[in-house]
Structure 1
Amino acid sequence: MMKSGWTHTLIDDAAKTPQTQTFHALGTSIVLTVYGTTSADILTASQQLVDQYEDQLTVNRVDSEVMAINHAAGETAIQVSDSTFSLVKLALTASLEDSGFNAAIGPLVKQWQIGFAGAHVPSKESIQAAMTLIDPHKIVLDEEQHSVLLQEAGMELDLGAIAKGYIADRIRDLWRAHGVISGIINLGGNLLFVGDAPARVDKMWRIGVQDPWAQRGAPLATVILPECSAVTSGIYERHLDVDGQAYHHIIDSRTGYPFETRLESVTIFSRHSVIGEIESTRLFFDQAADEQWLVAHPDCYGAVFVSQDHKLTSVGFKQQVDGSLILASNEV
């Protein structure tokens, strides 16, 4: 009997064996991890996908599709790719709900620059001038042409509050198309867990809610869920300290100043990361949620709030004896 011309080596616990790729993009550290025998090529393709979307959506470079829209503000509509148009459309819909999320907030963010070189407290006059340029009703979309128009010169789109979630969801689409059975997409702390947790008998992921007063990676609580996204809006990392006054980076488009809040963070657990991005902003401004919010947002599993007086509350979850949080409902 002839022997085959290749040999096969068994891999212990193949389904639990991770392959990881780490790189810098979207202004942060990206860590992509897949489990099992999936080809490492999927990680290279994922990085290329991130780079492609950054080329389209960034406002931190002179050239991108979003910057082309901004440069043409007050003058002409700019035709963009399907993906950019769909994201702008989603961002505009959320902005018009007047829930704290505002895709037109670019001029205000540019005034404060919190988290970037040159961060400072702007003058009242500068803030008032920027406030005249952040009306999302002046963003005009043309469905047939796939074009975007900012009606006033000086207006600027900023999709930073939604882009990571959108990109994470697209990476998951890519992984599913290539048969990835399990993995973790980490876009600078915005997390998306794909498939089953490979190291758990119950196949559920253990997800830590960051302790704002501890080093990064130290959890204040642990949430147990199936495949899901975890997105946090918080004020404990990016801030500006001037004359004893701390200014965080979440700007209230109604006042032009950082939002006054009793919260340190809100973490949303949802089926889609882009929904988590929108809802974490909404609930940060609402500062609370109840069962009615959960019913109105079926793509969300629940939310965890951490207040500035170190209290943790949640909606959609119940606490186990060991302190971990699980779904209050059996539905997943």
Structure 2
Amino acid sequence: MVINKKYRALGTIIDLTVYNSVDEKLLDEAYELIKEYEDKLTVNRTSSEIMNINHASGRDEVSVSEISYKIVKRAIEISQKELGFNALIGPVVKLWHIGFADAEVPQTMEVAQRLALTNPFSVVLNDKKRTVFLQKKGMELDLGGIAKGYIADAIKDYWIKQHIERGIINLGGNVLLVGDPARESRLWNVGIQSPFSQRNEPLGILKTGDYSVVTSGIYERFLKIDGKEYHHIFNPKTGYPVANDLASVTVITKKSIDGEIWASIGFYNGIRGTMNLFNRKDDIGIIFTTKSKKVYITRNIAESFKITNQDYFLEADSVLQ
């Protein structure tokens, strides 16, 4: 028995599917859990726990729930490694506002001013009181690069506790698989989004177990002015969109939150830079797609991934050591 329901949350379509006989209300309960997390973590409303932290920047520490504190702490710890993910990038994102009608290319001085508000070492965390303090007025947390993965993992944990044996959690670009598909191969077939086509048009198919598959690409939101395109994935060092040949990065991990983090790392560091950090991690697979439609993959998924779109190509040197 297959039960599938679609919902709207997190600025996208939530697609939940279970394959064993369960009460349909478990999908609705999962959706309610998603909304609970969104209410706490969003920065797209005037009020949330994260926005309370932002509103108090430079003035007060703010006490938050265990849910919010856990993800903020993880986000700050990763940001302080300075590998390309920065949860304090909010002021820069809002300055450009790519994806909205008022998006524009800001002045160099404006970018510099906003960058001064993105230092992840200017955040004070207190584990005992579960408080967060942004030391400079105007600093802002933005968990958009990590929240969907965090929430997807929470839904999977909830499903497992409810004895859901197999299912698919799709949070719009974040796919998290539960169990196996009950086929002879015991592997799921996951379409990898083509960065130059409409959503759900794959460039290839990945065979995988109960992993997370996260894809991030420059096709999602961009600004075009005077014939030049500016995408929404920012370099936290410069305050400008990352400048390289990548069109999308897909990351395969056990935890969806790790997939989101590695997608940011992949874009920021490029293919070779990311592989220098990769250190032959067998539990992480990466698919890079360039603007010229060449595909590079890590060796540990070479036998699991197949290109199905003739516009893309994978050459011998595209399998990364």
**Offset of 1:116 from its aligned partner?**
2.6
Unaligned runs of 5+ in 1: 1-16, 326-332
Partner Cα separation in structure 2 for residue 134 and residue 322 of structure 1: 40
Aligned equivalent of 1:238? 221
RMSD: 1.7
| Residue 192 of structure 1 pairs with residue 188 of structure 2 | no
1:283 is matched with 266
Which of 242, 248, 251 in structure 2 is aligned with 1:265? 248
| 1:210 aligned partner, one-letter code | Q
* C-alpha distance in 1 between matches for 2:81 and 2:60: 26
Quick one: distance in 2 between partners of 1:269 and 1:251?
22
In 2, the alpha carbon distance for the partners of 1:77 and 1:321 equals 47
Deviation of 1:126 after TM superposition, in Å, equals 1.6
Between the aligned partners of 1:196 and 1:179, the Cα distance in structure 2 is 14
Q: Does 1:67 align with 2:67?
A: no
Name the CA distance, whole Å, in 1 between partners of 2:220 and 2:28: 30
Match of 2:162 among 164, 178, 192: 178
CA–CA distance in 2 between the matches of 1:109 and 1:291?
28
Are the counterparts in 2 of residues 209 and 221 from structure 1 also a CA contact under 8 Å?
yes
**Counterpart mapping for 1:125-140 below 5 A:** 125-140=109-124
Change (3 A) 1:305 1:321: closer
Contact 2:156 2:178 (8 Å CA) reproduced = yes
Larger radius of gyration: 1
1:293 aligns with 2:278: yes
256-265 vs 310-319, greater mean Cα deviation: 310-319
Deviation of 1:319 (Å): 3.9
Q: 1:77 to 1:299 in 2, by over 3 A?
A: farther
SS of structure 1 residue aligned to 2:302: strand
- Please list the CA deviations of residues 221-278 of structure 1 after superposition, one character each: whole Å capped at 9, or x if unmatched: 1111100101112101210111111000001111111110111011000000000010
Provide closer, same or farther for how the CA distance between residues 322 and 175 of structure 1 changes in structure 2, counting only shifts above 3 A. Answer: closer
Q: Secondary structure at the match of 2:7?
A: strand
Partner Cα distance (2:82, 2:42) in 1? 24
- Equivalent position of 1:154 in the other structure: 138
Aligned position for 1:124: 108
Q: Distance in 2 between matches of 1:44 and 1:259?
A: 38
1:321 and 1:45 mapped to 2: Cα distance? 34
* Stretch of structure 1 that moved more, 314-323 or 143-152: 314-323
1:70-113 deviations in whole A, cap 9, x for unaligned?
Answer: 00000110011111111001101110111110000110000011
| Equivalent of 2:39 in 51, 55, 71 | 55
For residue 136 of structure 2, what is the amino acid of its counterpart? E
Q: Deviations over 1:89-147 (max 9, x none)?
A: 11011101111100001100000111234222112222121111010000110011010
TM-score by length of 1: 0.88
Count of aligned pairs: 306
Q: Which residue of 2 aligns with 1:314?
A: 297
Q: Secondary structure at the match of 1:158?
A: coil
Check the 8 A contact 1:272/1:299 in 2, yes or no.
Answer: no
240-249 or 229-238, larger mean C-alpha shift: 229-238
Q: Whole-Å Cα distance in 2 between the matches of residues 75 and 185 of structure 1?
A: 39
**Per-residue deviation, residues 147-184 of structure 1 (Å, max 9, x unmatched):** 00000000000000000000000000110000101111
Letter in 2 for 1:278: I
* TM-aligned CA deviation for residue 323 of structure 1: 5.1
Indicate the percent of aligned positions where both proteins have the same amino acid. 42
- Relative to structure 1, the CA distance from residue 230 to residue 123 in structure 2 (aligned partners, 3 Å threshold; closer, same or farther) is same
Higher mean C-alpha displacement, 63-72 vs 252-261: 252-261
Q: Which among 203, 206, 209 is matched to residue 223 of structure 1?
A: 206
- 2:97 paired with 1:113: yes
Unaligned 5+ runs, structure 2: 309-313, 315-321
Which amino acid is 2:47 matched to? D
